[in-house]
Amino acid sequence: MWMTPKRSKMEVDEALVFRPEWTQRYLVVEPPEGNGALCLVCRRLIVATRERDVRRHYEAEHEYYERYVADGERAALVERLRQGELPVASLTPEERAARAGLGLCRLLALKGRGWGEGDFVHQCMEVLLREVLPEHVSVLQGIDLSPESARQRILSIDRNLRSQLVNRARDFKAYSLALDDQAFVAYENYLLVFIRGVGAGLEVQEDLLTIINLTHHFSVGALMSAILEALQTAGLSLQRMVGLTTTHTLRMIGENSGLVSYMREKAVSPNCWNVIHYSGFLHLELLSSYDVDVNQIINTISEWIVLIKTRGVRRPEFQTLLTESESEHGERVNGRCLNNWLRRGKTLKLIFSLRKEMEAFLVSVGATTVHFSDKQWLCDFGFLVDIMEHLRVLSEELRVSKVFAAAAFDHICTFEVKLNLFQRHIEEKNLTDFPALKEVVDELKQQNKEDQKIFDPDRYQMVICRLQKEFERHFKDLRFIKKDLELFSNPFNFKPEYAPISVRVELTKLQANTNLWNEYRIKDLGQFYAGLSAESYPIIKGVACKVASLFDSNQICEKAFSYLTRNQHTLSQPLTDEHLQALFRVATTEMEPSWDDLVRERNESNP
């Protein structure tokens, strides 16, 4: 056993001084105030700092921990207790029941289930235990999954996660915000505000900062105040803000009245970058589709899908399509969500492959099929499928997180080079990069052998040109910091004479360091910069923190959007803004709730 030393009767009275060895022996630490000893298990303060008092508390309250004997086990136990984790076996039956109830409520939230379904889960568990483990049915008595209890528990989890975020935000050296006003496409209008922060060790944290009800904060000034309030609550100043990622709606990027221009004015600081703004990351496929859908193709297809869902649901040829739709939205879907689903390259490609079956179905139900005899419409359909497929590939590349903005910008630049290539190929009527359009053109040539002009290249060149201009506008700010991005991603091959004057000395010193070069070769960028000395390379380290804080993917926004579309009927029920924020925080965070803190909070509120 891990033996606690027994005192000799001949010992003189102990001094009132905390001893470091007590941390492993009695699981206590010296409190910040310096008086007494703080128990890591029950978080009680032992006022008298004599060893006999500390030992008495330990033996009376926490003798269970004597089973952790080996030094390694003991050290690991202390570390877990410092982080607020209690071994499950040390909890009382009531505390275990409370912890189970919290976990089940979180699972219900993650799956988008309604508050009332907790009772159903409880009934299922009761039936299961009565049949399989009848002697354990009594454990369910302490697990309350009533609707009101589920609501309160989700709010408790949200407070816990928000508290963790605030604690981590205090250490952010730089951060960026992502503002998404397009996620709530079919309900009350909300703005989702996400934050990406970087600590001193270059550890990256992405999370939901807040949700703002746009009905109550309609003006840009009111929006700005709500965001500033959320930042202030998290202990963050605008002077540490490096980047803004937004959608390209007028509310966000209006030239004189957009939220971005307001925030840039507020964030001006002589000691930091101007705030970097880029607006093409969020909902790339969705928003770009409006620029390339030249013939309202998607609106027409939307009408066909509604017909299939109402009159062709049993047709075998449409089962793959219907299954895909239901996996995204459930069996029932509103028009806006359906329209957004159709604006994805993957969906359009599937529908294009079923165009013959759709034509036969429309004929069978007496609907118009005029579009299938319109060669211009068919060519536009094929072109839309191809260009949206290219956008889908780019969107998936931008969905990969933890690659830093430099890699994401490389994907953007590569796609812009592709657009130039597409321009030339269309002009030459080379449809190698447009397989769907080529398929349509070949079919039309077979049907109209005398017609030499099947499609108009100028029409599609204009669309590609429009897309190029949009990309140039959306990512203009990233081009301004291109040198910083290149320096960050490849510091040993970056020529010092091309670097900013302030960083040249440090860069030369860095490139001459063989040990750092070896580390750079075997580590990823994050690990390399995390180990770089801030004292020796303060400017380079500062640039690294700023670049690392820029959003490098749209993953967290897509996670929120996917959660909404999958659970649209649950989320369309009456919910307070507080509950809605709690659900989205639980659905998007990578942090784990501190279950023991939640159980302790419950015990304190219900003594």
Residue 512 binned pLDDT confidence (cut-offs 50, 70, 90): very high
How many Å separate Cα 64 from the centre of its chain? 40
Task: Could you please state the CATH topology (level 3) that the domain comprising 171-279+574-600 is classified under.
Answer: Nucleotidyltransferase; domain 5 (3.30.420)
192: left (phi over 0), alpha (psi -120 to 50) or beta: beta
Total number of residues shown for the chain: 607
116: phi then psi, degrees, rounded to nearest 5:
-70, -10
DSSP 8-state secondary structure symbol assigned to residue 276: E
Q: Helix (H, G, I), strand (E, B), or coil: what is residue 278?
A: strand
Q: How confident is the model over 338-397, as pLDDT tens digits?
A: 777 777 888 888 899 988 999 899 999 888 888 888 889 999 999 999 999 998 898 888
Q: What sign does the CA torsion over 77, 82, 86, 90 have?
A: positive
Q: Distances in Å between the alpha carbon of 602 and those of 41, 105, 573, 591, 605?
A: 16, 15, 28, 20, 5
Q: How confident is the model over 125-134, as pLDDT tens digits?
A: 889 888 888 8
Please compute the mean of the pLDDT values over residues 126-149 and round it to a whole number. Answer: 84
Average pLDDT for the chain: 82
**CB neighbour burial string for 18-53, b if at least 16 within 10 angstroms, e if fewer:** bbeebbebbbbbbeeeeebbbbbbeeeebeebebeb
Lowest mean pLDDT among 89-103, 210-224, 530-544: 89-103
pLDDT at 451: 62
Q: How confident is the model over 568-605, as pLDDT tens digits?
A: 666 666 778 898 899 999 999 988 888 877 887 776 66
Residue whose tokens read 């953007």: 412
pLDDT at 37: 85
DSSP string, 171-183: T-SEEEEEEESSS
Please compute the mean of the pLDDT values over residues 298-313 and round it to a whole number. Answer: 85
Q: What angle do CA 3, 9, 14 make, to 5 degrees?
A: 80
Q: Is the pLDDT of residue 9 over 50?
A: no
Q: Is the pLDDT of residue 408 over 80?
A: yes
> Which structure tokens are listed for 508?
């030369």
Q: Distances in Å between the alpha carbon of 146 and those of 113, 234, 381, 413, 570?
A: 13, 32, 51, 53, 17
Please compute the mean of the pLDDT values over residues 515-522 and round it to a whole number. Answer: 90
**Do residues 142 and 94 make contact, with C-beta atoms less than 8 angstroms apart?**
yes
> Which structure tokens are listed for 82?
């410092």
Q: Is the pLDDT of residue 89 over 60?
A: no
Domains in the chain: boundaries: 18-81, 91-152, 171-279+574-600, 284-475, 499-547
**Do residues 373 and 440 make contact, with C-beta atoms less than 8 angstroms apart?**
no
pLDDT at 12: 35
Q: Is the pLDDT of residue 334 over 80?
A: no
Q: Where are the beta strands (DSSP E) in 119-275?
A: 174-180, 190-198, 204-213, 241-246
253: phi then psi, degrees, rounded to nearest 5:
-120, 20
Q: What sign does the CA torsion over 398, 401, 404, 407 have?
A: negative
CA nearest 202: which of 531, 592, 555?
531
DSSP 8-state secondary structure symbol assigned to residue 313: T
Task: Please tell me which residue, 105 or 185, carries the higher pLDDT value.
Answer: 105
What is the rounded distance in angstroms from the CA atom of residue 282 to the CA atom of residue 287? 8
Q: How confident is the model over 215-243, as pLDDT tens digits?
A: 888 788 888 899 999 999 998 988 889 98
Q: What percentage of the chain exceeds 70 in pLDDT?
A: 87
Q: Is the pLDDT of residue 271 over 50?
A: no
